[in-house]
Structure 1
Amino acid sequence: MREWWREISGLVLPVDCAGCGRRRTLLCARCARALHGGPVLRARPVPEPEGLPAVHAAAAYGDAVRAVILAHKERGSLGLAEPLGRALAGAVRAAAPGSGAVPLLLVPVPSAPHAVRARGHDAGRRIAVAAAAALRRTGRPAQVLPVLRQVRPVADQAGLGAPERLANMSGSLRVRAGADRLLSDGVPVLVDDVMTTGASLTEAARALSAARRRARSAFAGFVQVSAAVVAVPPPSPAINRN
C-alpha cells in the first residue's frame, strides 16, 4: 500500500526538484546533467580492498547527486528511478565495453531485508531495472539478475571504517541456489547506487567467484566481473576521470 501511494502521489501532487528544490519539476535540467551528463569516473577507494573489481561511476556523490539518491532511497521518490537508472546505464557501458550482441547481466548488490522493509521498496533493484531498460533502448541486450542474497545479518555500515566494513560484509552474500548457471548467459556486472569503501562490492564479487567454482563446467564463457555504481564520494585522488 505504501509503494502504491507513493507512485500515485508522485503523479498528482506538485513536486520540487530532488536535487536543488526548484519548484514543480521532479529533476531539473541542471541536476540531471550533474547526475548523468558528465564523464564516467573510474573509482578506486583508499585503501582499496583486495578482490574489489574495477568500478565505474556515473557521478561524484555530492550536492545534487547525493540529494537525488537519498530522495529515491530514503524518501520514496520513485519517479527518480528512471534518471538514476539512466546514469547507472552509462557506468555499466563503461564497465563492460565490447560487443553489443553479448547480453549484460546486471547483478544488484542486495540491501539488508530490514532496510527494504523500512523503506517500502528495494531502491537498488529498482534502479537496476531502470538501467537495464535504458541499455535495451540503445540496442544493448541487458537484464537484471537478482541472484545474490544475504545469508547472515550485517550491521548498519554507517559510522564504520573501511576495515570494519570489510569484516562486517565478509561472508554475508551468496548466489541463490540453482542460479549459478544463469551467470554464464552473458557478461555479469555488479551494480549499486553508491560505493564508499568498496566493502559491499568486494563481498559481492567474492560470492560470484564462489558460484563460479561451484559450477565450473557451466562458466566456460564467464568473464572477469566488473562493477558500476551511480556515484562515488568526491573529491578524492582515488577517483579518475576516463
Structure 2
Amino acid sequence: MREAVRDAWAVVMPVECAGCETPDRALCPECARSLVAVPTIHSTPQHVRVYAAVRYEAVVRRVLLAFKNQHRTDQARSLARLLAPALHRAIADTTADTNAESIGGGRGEAAALIVAVPTSKRAFRSRGYDPLKLVLGAAGIRHQPILRAVKKTASQKHLGAQQRAINVQGAFVATRWLGSTRVIIVDDVLTTGATIDEAARAISAAGGTVIAAATIGFTPRTGASRDFASGED
C-alpha cells in the first residue's frame, strides 16, 4: 500500500532521489541505508570539541547539497536522523546530569543551550529558509536564536584554513547576555572549524561557555589538505 501511494504521488509531483537521482523517490532505499550516523570526535583550531555524525562525502554530500542549494527541504528528516545521534553524544559526554532524550528541553535545556550557527542574510534570501533550523525542527530539537550574522562574508568553498578564519572573523554577535550559560553549537559541516570558532567567540563575548559542538558531517583530510565542502555559506 505504501509503495502504491508513493507511485501515485510520483505521477502528481515528479521527484528524484537526492542522493543518486533515481526517479520517483525523494530518497531511494539504497541511499537511505547509507545515511547512518557514526559519530566521531574532532577539534577546531581553538580547541572546541566537535561531534560529527558522518563523513561529508558520497551520498551524504549530495543529499546535504541538494537540501541546501536545490530547495530539497524534503530531506530535512533524513539529515535530522544523522544529526541527532551526534548531538546526543555531545550532551552525554559533556553534561553529566542531562538525559539524552531531553535534548534542548527540560533538564537538558537548563544544563546546556542548543545554539545553531545562523545562515547569512545572502544565503537566506537565496534559499528562503534556514537549513539548520529546518533540520533541528525535524529532529524535534529545541534551540535558541542566540547568534546573529552581522558581517557580509565571502563564499568559503575555495578558501584555505587561514583565509576562512579571516573571512568569518567578527561575523556573529550574541543577541543577549548569556552569563554563565553552557552552550552546544550546531552547524552542518565541519571543514576547518573556522565558523564554529567564530560562533564560540561571539558566545564567549556574551559571557557564555561553549562546551561542545555537533555537526552533520565533517570533511575528511587527505594528507595535509582537506576536501573543502562545496555550497557552504
Give the TM-score, by structure 2 length: 0.78
Q: Which residue is 1:89 aligned to? A: 84
Q: Which residue is 2:135 aligned to? A: 127
Aligned pair partner of 2:125 in 117, 120, 125? 117
Q: 2:87 is paired with a residue of what secondary structure? A: helix
Q: Hey, what's the Cα distance between the residues in 2 that align with 1:11 and 1:71?
A: 21
What letter corresponds to residue 112 of structure 1 in structure 2?
S
Using a 3 Å threshold, how does the CA distance of structure 1 residues 38 and 129 change in structure 2: closer, same or farther? Answer: closer
Q: Hey, what's the Cα distance between the residues in 1 that align with 2:184 and 2:11?
A: 32
RMSD value, Cα: 2.6
Q: Which residue is 1:13 aligned to? A: 13
Q: 2:187 is paired with a residue of what secondary structure? A: strand
Q: Which residue is 1:6 aligned to? A: none
Q: 2:108 is paired with a residue of what secondary structure? A: coil
1:228 aligns with 2:217: no
Q: Quote the sequence identity (%).
A: 36
Q: Hey, what's the Cα distance between the residues in 2 that align with 1:119 and 1:39?
A: 29
Q: Which residue is 1:31 aligned to? A: 31
Give the TM-score, by structure 1 length: 0.75
Q: 1:144 is paired with a residue of what secondary structure? A: coil
1:188 aligns with 2:183: yes
Q: Hey, what's the Cα distance between the residues in 2 that align with 1:12 and 1:57?
A: 37
Residue 179 of structure 1 deviates from its aligned partner by 5.5
Using a 3 Å threshold, how does the CA distance of structure 1 residues 78 and 235 change in structure 2: closer, same or farther? Answer: same
Q: Which has the higher contact order (CA 8 A, sep 6+)?
A: 1
Q: Hey, what's the Cα distance between the residues in 1 that align with 2:47 and 2:64?
A: 23
CA deviation map 1:7-45 (0-9, x unaligned) = xx999512221111223221123322322x24212234x
Residue 171 of structure 1 deviates from its aligned partner by 1.8
Residue 111 of structure 1 deviates from its aligned partner by 1.6
Contact 1:58 1:90 in 2 (8 A): yes
Using a 3 Å threshold, how does the CA distance of structure 1 residues 23 and 11 change in structure 2: closer, same or farther? Answer: closer
Q: Which residue is 2:231 aligned to? A: none
Using a 3 Å threshold, how does the CA distance of structure 1 residues 12 and 92 change in structure 2: closer, same or farther? Answer: farther
Q: 2:142 is paired with a residue of what secondary structure? A: strand
- Structure 1 residue runs without a partner (length 5+): 1-8, 134-141, 214-222
1:102 aligns with 2:108: yes
Using a 3 Å threshold, how does the CA distance of structure 1 residues 70 and 11 change in structure 2: closer, same or farther? Answer: farther
Q: Hey, what's the Cα distance between the residues in 2 that align with 1:197 and 1:147?
A: 23
Q: Hey, what's the Cα distance between the residues in 2 that align with 1:95 and 1:225?
A: 9
Runs of 4+ in structure 1 over 3 Å off: 9-12, 235-239
Contact 2:56 2:217 in 1 (8 A): yes
Q: Hey, what's the Cα distance between the residues in 2 that align with 1:189 and 1:11?
A: 43
Using a 3 Å threshold, how does the CA distance of structure 1 residues 207 and 76 change in structure 2: closer, same or farther? Answer: same
Aligned length: 204
Q: Hey, what's the Cα distance between the residues in 1 that align with 2:13 and 2:34?
A: 25
- Structure 2 residue runs without a partner (length 5+): 1-8, 100-106, 227-233
Aligned pair partner of 2:52 in 50, 57, 64? 57
Residue 91 of structure 1 deviates from its aligned partner by 0.9
1:206 aligns with 2:201: yes
What letter corresponds to residue 178 of structure 2 in structure 1?
D
Q: Which residue is 1:216 aligned to? A: none
Using a 3 Å threshold, how does the CA distance of structure 1 residues 52 and 30 change in structure 2: closer, same or farther? Answer: farther
Q: 1:110 is paired with a residue of what secondary structure? A: coil
Residue 237 of structure 1 deviates from its aligned partner by 7.5
